[in-house]
Amino acid sequence: MEGLANITAAILAGGRGTRLQSVLADRPKGLAPVRGRPFLSYLLDQLVAAGVQEVVFCTGYRGEQIRETFGDDYRSLRLLYSQEDVPLGTAGALRHASSFFKSESVLVMNGDSFVDANLRDFWNWHRGLGAVATMMVIKVQDSGRYGRVQMDTGGHLIGFREKGEDHGPGWINAGIYLFRRAFLEGIAAGGVVSLERDVFPAWIGHGLYAYRNHGGVLDIGTPEAYASAESFFARLSRKRFVLLDRDGTIIAERDYLFDPNEVELIPGAAEALKELQEMGLGLVVVTNQSAIARGFFGKAQLDLIHQRLSVLLGAYGVHLDGIYVCPHVPEDNCSCRKPKPGLVEQAMKDFNFDPKLCFVVGDKACDIELGQRIGAKTLLVSTGYGAQVASEGSVAPDFVAEDLLEAVKAIRHMLAEEKRENA
């Protein structure tokens, strides 16, 4: 099965950045310095965290500077360059670079914006629907400044409204896409072609989907927006996370769940996760799945289960920041099986959060013990095995909740108490 590790990512970094010339006259806008680093490095870090291994820069204006800055590799990424001699537009640049795309699917990102999004969940949602092309969309308070994207309840993209036609809250194009390679190869070669103006309108009704993302976005296309970049990334580095168990907490407990069709959300779980997401908290699942080591099924089957979970949660507008899995049995004495903190340490590297500011929610003793080891607040839910664990008294969580919805109320209360104490 194709996963993000086997998918080529393309970053559109060929624009001249005319509006930024007053502050960036000597370089392409993707190399704009933010907190002492070129802006594009934040996109590359995001791709590393998602497990991508190969990136094609679609360059144009002063593209040699981007190549000189990053070279042929960045951390675990292999870097390639497709330089256009004349501006070709966003779609034309991708068609020009198509010989570099070896994977059946291609992840595309605008090089002058950053979206706080979980790319793995984006991929799972896209693949779970069997989509030909998926556009990530975000909600803004005044969509009239950008042009509004229209969707139906199933996520099909059904229309666009031009800039200035509608004002008020609405969904807009976030500048991140997943395409089948054949979709890109169908773009006319050699001319100026725009994804936004030429390609997407023609694909309405032909397998084009919209994935709703609830994270923040930064577009450095104007001096005013670029001036906010420092504070934007500073806020991201202070984001707090809820670390959640999977079985018995979010989905119904099943012995060695194998069939994606048996993934069943616990009543109220999706609504609870949506509330946490709207509170600005990151959502990470940490789960022990010893069925892999026991040979009951492989990682590919587990990926299908998580793709199904992504689709179910996506219907509620919920997107997990990450799912971290321990595949070992207890006898392996690994460092990642809960209550050991290995999975949390992996997530910390990806999202740069303070574990002491986290909330750990689960239905098993190992979840509570994990939270206590990392210094987090712990909440035991009575779903799954939680009621039995509570009756045994083997652990002492900070709060025992009937279910995930009640746990969210407790987290909200804890945050309010912190705010009062720090006032």
pLDDT grade, residue 26 (50/70/90)?
A: confident
**pLDDT tens per residue, range 273-305:** 999 988 889 999 999 999 999 999 999 999 999
CB 160 within 8 A of CB 201: yes
Place of tokens 């725009």: 194
CB 20 within 8 A of CB 220: yes
| CA nearest neighbour of 277 among 116, 109, 95 | 116
**pLDDT tens per residue, range 166-218:** 678 889 999 999 999 999 999 999 889 999 999 999 999 888 999 999 888 99
No. of helices (H) and no. of strands (E), the chain: 14, 20
**pLDDT tens per residue, range 332-348:** 999 999 999 999 999 99
Between CA 342 and CA 355 the distance in angstroms is: 12
**pTM tops 0.85, yes or no:** no
pLDDT score recorded for residue 423: 62
Measure the CA angle with vertex 242, ends 401 and 109; round to 5°.
Answer: 145
Question: Residue 12 forms beta bridges with which residues?
Answer: 58, 110
* 67-71 contact pairs (CB < 8 A, 24+): 69/31, 69/38, 69/40, 70/40, 70/41, 70/44
Between CA 260 and CA 302 the distance in angstroms is: 8
Between CA 2 and CA 271 the distance in angstroms is: 31
Q: What is the DSSP string of 21-58?
A: TTT-TTS-GGG-EETTEEHHHHHHHHHHHHT--EEEEE
Q: Among the options 112, 116, 121, 247, which is catalytic?
A: 247
Q: Among the options 121, 245, 303, 367, which is catalytic?
A: 245
The answer to whether residue 132 scores a pLDDT higher than 70 is yes
Q: Which CATH architecture has domain 241-422?
A: 3-Layer(aba) Sandwich (3.40)
Tokens representing 382 are 């009575």
Pairing of strands 113-115, 133-140: unpaired
Q: Report, as an integer, the average pLDDT of 341-358.
A: 92
**pLDDT tens per residue, range 56-103:** 999 999 999 999 999 999 998 999 999 999 999 999 999 999 999 999
**pLDDT tens per residue, range 219-266:** 898 888 889 998 988 887 778 999 999 999 999 999 999 999 999 999
> Which range, of 303-307, 362-366, 368-372, 381-385, averages the lowest pLDDT?
303-307
Catalytic status, residue 247: yes
Q: Report, as an integer, the average pLDDT of 32-37.
A: 92
CB 20 within 8 A of CB 215: no
The mean predicted confidence, pLDDT, of the chain is: 92
Q: How far apart are the first and last CA of the chain?
A: 51
Percentage of residues of the chain with pLDDT beyond 70 = 97
More confident call, 91 vs 153: 91
pLDDT score recorded for residue 143: 79
What does the CA dihedral 136, 240, 367, 389 come to, rounded to 10 degrees? -100
CATH topology of domain 4-237: Spore Coat Polysaccharide Biosynthesis Protein SpsA; Chain A (3.90.550)
pLDDT score recorded for residue 2: 57
**What does the domain layout of the chain look like in residue ranges?**
4-237, 241-422
